[in-house]
Homo-oligomer: A and B are copies of this chain.
Amino acid sequence: MKLTPVMEKFVLHWGEMGWRWGINRSVAQVHALLMLAPKPLPADEICESLNVARSNVSNSIKELQGWGLVRVVHVFGDRREHFETLKDVWEMFLIILRERKKREIDPTLQTLRECAAESAKDKNTGDHTTQRLNELIEFMELSSSWAEKAHALSPTAAKRLCSLGDKVFRLVG
């Protein structure tokens, strides 16, 4: 499938943005392509569209599956696997939120707790350091609990909550 200029533009931009958030460029590009595609695509069409090697697509897809963002679809009369991404942007957002919590926030919280515990004992580590670690723990715990609550929402509820912006901020403003 030859990409239209619009699709190409989007794919490039999405690749760049993913990149800035620590996602491999090709991975993000494959994701972008699947978002725009009207139907599931087989790997070789992805290669062709993005001008990358077959192996690259294979690995990118695997990575996206690891995130839970892409799944396999089978098409009648075609032995090849076809791939699609989730249709709902909000659902994707919640999935990414959960994954990043699991991969980054949770381990950080654990490390911080270990550090704070050791730090409190260790005479060589100053009070200031211990205090700082505790502040970070408090922050991370709150983030974590938000992420958990958010993840319990349905995609539509998440959307509704975000649309309620003003009301939410009036709670403290």
Q: Which residues of A contact B (CB under 8 A)?
A: 4-7, 9-10, 13, 17, 19-22, 35-38, 89-90, 93, 103-104, 107-108, 111-112, 114-115, 118-119, 122, 124-126, 128-129, 132-133, 135-136, 138-139, 142-143, 145-146, 149-150, 152-153, 157, 159-169, 171-173
Contact call B173/A10, Cβ cutoff below 8 A: no
Kindly identify which residue among B21, B103, B111 contacts A10, using a CB–CB cutoff of 8 Å.
B111
CB of A26 to closest CB in B, whole Å: 16
| Of listed A114, A166, A172, residue having the most chain B CB within 10 A | A172
A90-B139 contact given A122-B6, A129-B36, A169-B149, CB 8 Å threshold = yes
Contact call B139/A20, Cβ cutoff below 8 A: no
Contact call B167/A171, Cβ cutoff below 8 A: yes
- Nearest first, the 6 closest Cβ-Cβ pairs linking A and B are A38-B128, A142-B162, A89-B139, A161-B172, A22-B22, A6-B119
